């Protein structure tokens, strides 16, 4: 408990008096956007950062819990894609006056749902392209353009984004994935904060092993 309050995932403004950081989940209106508890964005609105999400494509944006999304991040969905297996990519069917039926879905480069794991940090003005899967605990650098999957606990930067390193060794990553602290009750997470925020990774490893026994 801080300032006499418990964490509440249904609070929109988790910093009193500050409008430009919101928990995303309680603000959502589009049923094709699914976001877990305590994920926030450094803005006063989230859905404006999700572009080209159209019902007829059937894709979804799925984001886990405790993600940190910086200002200017954009999630580009499948509706932005044009037909690429024909002579022209021009979308005649979307514009007035042209005698063009919509292409078959099989003729469009639809890439399915965009899925972001838990505890992912997405840096300022990064762009997440359609169908990308980003694993738990990943870090996406500022201005990165992510067009391919990023494994858990991996740092990715650049345009196109590329993985530059793992945050931890494979054993630690496996322990963190099994432990899945983001799925635990608020009271337990509060008690775990000294472990979750410790820079003594060997002690963290030991504590995780104890709790997974």
Alpha-carbon gap, residue 164 to 162, rounded angstroms: 6
| Tokens (6 digits) for 16 | 């009193």
Identify the H or E element spanning 194: helix 186-196
- Please tell me which residue in 13, 49, 52, 82 is annotated as part of the active site: 82
Q: By three-state DSSP, how is residue 21 classified?
A: coil
Cβ-Cβ contacts under 8 Å for 136 (sequence gap 6 or more):
64, 117, 118, 119, 120, 152, 153, 176, 177, 182
Q: Do 154 and 146 form a contact (C-beta atoms < 8 A)? A: no
| Residues of the chain by 3-state class (helix, strand, coil), percent to 5 | 25, 20, 55
**Catalytic annotation present for 82:** yes
Q: Which residues are catalytic?
A: 82
């Amino acid at each position: 408990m801080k300032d006499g309050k418990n964490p509440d995932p249904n609070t929109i403004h988790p910093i009193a008096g500050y409008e430009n950081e919101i928990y995303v989940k309680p603000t959502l209106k589009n049923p094709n956007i699914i976001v877990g508890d305590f994920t926030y964005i450094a803005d006063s609105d989230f859905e404006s950062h999700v572009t080209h999400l159209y019902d007829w494509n059937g894709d979804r944006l799925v984001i886990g819990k405790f993600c940190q999304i910086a200002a200017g991040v954009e999630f580009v969905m499948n509706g932005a894609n044009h037909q690429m297996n024909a002579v022209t990519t021009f979308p005649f069917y979307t514009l007035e006056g042209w005698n063009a039926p919509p292409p078959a879905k099989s003729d469009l480069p639809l890439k399915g749902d965009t899925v972001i794991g838990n505890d992912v940090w997405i840096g300022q003005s990064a762009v997440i392209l359609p169908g990308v899967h980003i694993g738990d605990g990943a870090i996406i650098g500022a201005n990165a353009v992510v067009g391919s999957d990023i494994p858990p606990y991996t740092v990715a930067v650049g345009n196109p984004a590329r993985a530059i390193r793992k945050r931890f060794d494979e054993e630690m990553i496996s322990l963190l994935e099994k432990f899945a602290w983001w799925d635990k009750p608020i009271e337990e997470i509060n008690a775990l904060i000294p472990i979750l925020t410790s820079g003594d990774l060997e002690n963290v490893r030991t504590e995780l092993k104890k709790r997974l026994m």
